[in-house]
Amino acid sequence: MYPKISPTSPGFESSTHRCRTILVLGASGFIGVPLLVRLKQEGYFVTGVVRDPNAVARLPLDRCIRLDLRTATSPENWFDALSGVDAVINCAGVLQDGARDSTSAVHVTAPAALYEACERLGIFRVIHFSALNADQDAVSEFSESKGQIERILGASKLDWVILRPSVVVGRNAYGGSALFRGLASLPISLRLPQAGRVSLVQLDDVTETVIRLLRPNSGGHIAIDLAGPRPLAFDEIVARYRAWLGWQPARLLPVSSMAMRVGSKLGDLAGYMGWRPPMRSTGMKEMSRGAEGEPAAWNRVTAIAPRSLERTLAADPASVQERWFARLYFLRPLAIVVFALFWVMTGVISLTIGWDIGLSYMQESGAAQLSEPSVLAGALADIAVGLAILYRPTTRLGLIGAVTITLFYLVAGTIVLPRLWADPLGPMIKIWPILCLNFMLLAILEER
């Protein structure tokens, strides 16, 4: 049991050595990670809820709770995580349902169970991240679920604050923040006539808001829209990132509604495979509505004057690593798809038009009796590797499998058929660029 200090206890605001324990949901996320850093700087004892065990080592946590929100659907699931906690910050969220995500569970069921557990345990301070326009008519399951949990929290006995940020951008890049940089790297600038304007909000301003709202007497039972000082059109945002990255303006190319629908369907397909691209059906619906807001109430409650995108970018020039990231944004998924199809097609060809060629290689090597099972096993292994690469939860395993099989082919081919090194088509020579691509994909596989 961790010591518990009430926000009204003596010395709460000035003490940095006493435990002021905060539970953070979405601790490994785009907002969660910099928020953890700020909380630690302020002297808070931070307990983080994470799903990915690989994220724990890089997070500044005092205590870590591994919990999948898709299964944390009853108050009892939260009692251990809430042990000794003074306040809860919920910045967990997903854009759309997928192989790894459930919108209703992450946005509604799990938080509702958490907030009921808070009431039972007497933990009243809750800062909840929603989304701009969540209190208006929903255009997607994302905004509908955000509005639903707002109503549940609003009807509770908790001392709640609801934050409704517009699109959040920062030096870290994920989701929409990363998409702007990727689009800025293209030789042409895609103009999306159907996209609404966006009042971008800076990540540092968001984390500072949370810190101020954790202070005693900061007020409760309020919902605050977090919006930047001026709404921008989508292509204006991309143009500003392109200038920040040091590139000349690009020629505008309007994108038709049909092309956007096709792109969103491809994004949905990627979501079913466990990936999280921002360009999905939900993203398109929310983008069409836009995310415009006014910062006046935000400033009145917290005294924060939100910074503009221009001011923020000018204060922190882009590095060469930023340009690498921007250029790789679309090349990375393209390389993964092409590499996965390479392995799948290799297996399919081995089972069909290349079957006799594979048998002839085995017979030439002196293993005629094992030729058919060997060719069959190799083909199925190639297909399995390709499918594993396509499915996000197994992508790393698939890439490691690809390295293993490639090295096996290299060694086995050198031993039993050394003449392949002299083949004019260069099958043994081509293994090396394949390996290099494999290692590059492993190096840039992390999403955040």
Kindly report, residue by residue over 90-103, the tens digit of the pLDDT.
999 999 988 888 99
Alpha-carbon span 152 to 287, nearest angstrom: 26
Complete domains list, the chain, with CATH: 21-318 (3.40.50.720), 333-443 (no CATH)
Alpha-carbon span 198 to 203, nearest angstrom: 15
Q: Between 19 and 82, where is the model more confident? A: 82
Q: Where are the beta strands (DSSP E) in 203-248?
A: 222-226
17 band by pLDDT with thresholds 50, 70 and 90: very low
> How many of the other CB atoms lie within 10 Å of CB of 357?
11
What average pLDDT does the chain have? 90
pLDDT at 380: 96
Question: Mean pLDDT over residues 377-406, rounded?
Answer: 96
447 band by pLDDT with thresholds 50, 70 and 90: confident
7 band by pLDDT with thresholds 50, 70 and 90: very low
Q: What percentage of the chain exceeds 90 in pLDDT?
A: 71
Q: Between 207 and 3, where is the model more confident? A: 207
Q: What percentage of the chain exceeds 70 in pLDDT?
A: 96
Q: Tell me: pLDDT of 15 over 60.
A: no
pLDDT at 223: 95
User: Tens digits of per-residue pLDDT, 158-196?
Assistant: 999 999 999 999 988 888 889 999 999 999 988 887 889
In contact, 169 and 201? CB cutoff 8 Å: yes
In contact, 285 and 139? CB cutoff 8 Å: yes
pTM of the full predicted structure?
Answer: 0.86
> How many of the other CB atoms lie within 10 Å of CB of 427?
13
